[in-house]
Amino acid sequence: MVISRTPFRISFFGGGTDYPVFYNKHGGAVLATSINKYCYVTCRYLPPFFNYKFRIRYNKQEHKKTISQIEHPSARECLRYLNFQAGIEMQHNADLPAMAGLGSSSSFTVSLLNSLYALQGQMVDKMQLAKDAIHVEQKLIKESVGSQDQTIAAFGGFNKIVFRGDERIQVTPIITQPQRLNTLQDNLMLFFTGITRRAPDVAKTQIRATSKKTKELKEMLKLVDVAFKIIAKNKSMDDFGKLLDISWKIKRGLTHKISNGAIDAIYDLALKSGALGGKLLGAGGGGFLLFYVPLEKQAEIKEKLKKLLYVPFRFEDYGSQIIYKMPDDTYGS
Listed in sequence order, the residues at least 6 apart from 250 whose beta carbon sits closer than 8 Å to its beta carbon are 216, 219, 220
- pLDDT digits 0-9 by tens, 87-121: 999 999 999 988 777 889 999 999 999 999 999 99
Whether residue 294 is contained in a domain is answered as: yes
Q: Is 330 domain-assigned?
A: no
Residue 245 is assigned to a structural domain of this protein: yes
**Helices 104-119 and 148-155: angle between axes, nearest 10 degrees:** 50
Does some domain include residue 120? yes
Domain residue limits at 147: 2-174+317-325
The answer on 14 and 138 residing in a single domain is: yes
Do both 150 and 29 map to the same domain? Answer: yes
**37 and 104 part of one domain:** yes
Pair type for strands 158-164 and 54-57: unpaired
Q: How far is Cα 301 from Cα 54, in angstroms, rounded to an integer?
A: 47
The one-character DSSP state at 234 is T
CA distances in angstroms from 54 to 50, 67, 89, listed in the order given = 9, 7, 6
| 124/135 Cα distance (integer angstroms) | 15
Same domain flag for 94 and 27: yes
Judge if 47 and 142 occupy the same domain.
Answer: yes
Taking the whole predicted model, whether its pTM rises above 0.85 is answered as: yes
What are 7-62's pLDDT values in tens digits? Answer: 999 999 999 999 999 999 999 999 999 999 999 999 999 998 999 999 999 999 99
Residues 194, 155 share a domain: no
CATH number reported for the structural domain that contains residue 51 in this entry: 3.30.230.10
- The Cα–Cα gap between 105 and 252 comes to 22
Q: Are residues 8 and 81 in the same domain?
A: yes
Strands 158-164 and 168-173: antiparallel
Whether 332 maps to a domain, the answer reads no
pLDDT in the model for residue 100: 75
31 & 143 share domain? yes
Domain count across the chain: 2
> Across the chain, where does the E strand assignment appear?
2-13, 28-45, 54-57, 61-64, 88-94, 158-164, 168-173, 188-192, 277-280, 288-292, 309-310, 315-316, 321-325
Task: State the average pLDDT for the chain.
Answer: 91
Residue 331 lies inside a defined structural domain of this protein: no
Q: Are residues 8 and 127 in the same domain?
A: yes
Q: Supply the pLDDT for residue 101.
A: 78
**The CATH number of the domain where 276 resides is what?**
3.30.70.890
Q: Sorting pLDDT into bands at 50, 70 and 90, what band is 261?
A: confident
Question: Helix 214-232 crosses helix 238-251 at what angle (to 10 degrees)?
Answer: 170
Q: How confident is the model at residue 242 (pLDDT cuts 50, 70, 90)?
A: very high
Shared domain check, 304 and 225: yes
> Is 333 part of any domain?
no
pLDDT of residue 254: 81
Q: Which amino acid is at 273?
A: S
Whether 47 is in a domain gets the answer yes
Please write the tens of the pLDDT for every residue from 203-222: 556 566 666 789 999 999 99
Report yes or no: 220 and 247 within 8 Å, Cβ to Cβ.
Answer: yes
Higher-confidence position of 226 and 232: 226
**Judgement on whether residues 278 and 184 belong to the same structural domain of the protein:** yes
**Domain co-membership, 168 together with 24:** yes
**What does the alpha-carbon distance between residue 272 and residue 259 come to, in Å, rounded to a whole number?**
18
